[in-house]
Amino acid sequence: MGFPSFLAFFLVSHLLVLHSTGSCPSSFDCGTLGPIEFPFTNSTHSLCGLYTVSCDEAVPKVTLGAEGRSYQVTGFSSTGNTIKINDPLLRTLIEYKSCNFSSYINPLNTLSVSFTVSPNLTIFKCLASSPELENQTDNYFVGDYIYYRGCRGYTVYYSYPNQQVDRVPASESIPPNCVFFQLPVVSSVEDRNLSDPFSLLTSGFSVGYHVSEECQACLAGGGRCSRDTREFRCLKDKGGTGISIYKRI
């Protein structure tokens, strides 16, 4: 058997295994977390969902982000389509007031499922390599935002979580010395130091999820949704003879 034929055989066989589990239940038991539903699943029915929760662990975890980032799961609300998670890396960032905001990774959206972290705080981290550059950046954010100068070599700009700003800069209009991050914040800022952004951030937060219409249609037709970020794919069993892959055009 030549290599191309072997490769094709392997791929088809692998896909057939994915569909050899039979019909999937509408919900899955997840221990102390109770029943969970698609797009989540447990390890027993790992092929029935897009995100497997380690329900048998003392602290259940799920991978939602890029680069294999996992989060601790603290609760579910199927009616509200939300999952409550805790991010240990973000907790460390907050405790040590680390300005390395890039270490926080938002849950990764795909063409099957999108995620929303709410409430969140948009933080602009701007290089302050000279007094002139710092003044220019201050003038750009004047009025709507307050600044925090506790990050060595940088100034951080943000607005109060409950404050409606007149303008939220588009990414292409942000000063070239700035990058922005969206981080989860506490639900209430009472008794918080509003001049310190780290007192507003939280490592325990809720993430809303939305299953796309394409994925819902795929599931209704007996298929499986993919986790692609560039092109939606629906995998369907062709009656035991192989797998059909339907792509969104």
Residues 167, 173 contacting (CB under 8 angstroms): no
Cα–Cα distance list, 71 to 52, 68, 86, 107 (Å): 12, 10, 6, 10
> Token match 């897009």: residue?
50
Would you state the pLDDT for residue 66?
A: 64
Complete DSSP assignment for 96-137: TT---GGG--PPPP-SSEEEEE-SEEEEEEEE--SHHHHHHH
Would you state the pLDDT for residue 103?
A: 80
72: CB partners within 8 A, 6+ apart: 59, 60, 61, 85, 86, 87, 88
Flag residues of the chain having pLDDT under 70.
1-22, 65-67, 161-172, 238-249
Q: What are 175-187's pLDDT values in tens digits?
A: 999 999 989 999 8
Distance, first Cα to last Cα, the chain? 34
What letter represents residue 54's amino acid?
S
Would you state the pLDDT for residue 236?
A: 81
Would you state the pLDDT for residue 205?
A: 94
43 is written with which tokens?
């390890």
Three-class SS state of 6: helix
Q: What are 224-233's pLDDT values in tens digits?
A: 898 888 889 8
Residue ranges per domain, the chain? 3-117+206-247, 121-182
Residues 66, 115 contacting (CB under 8 angstroms): no
180 is written with which tokens?
């922005």
Residues 159, 146 contacting (CB under 8 angstroms): yes
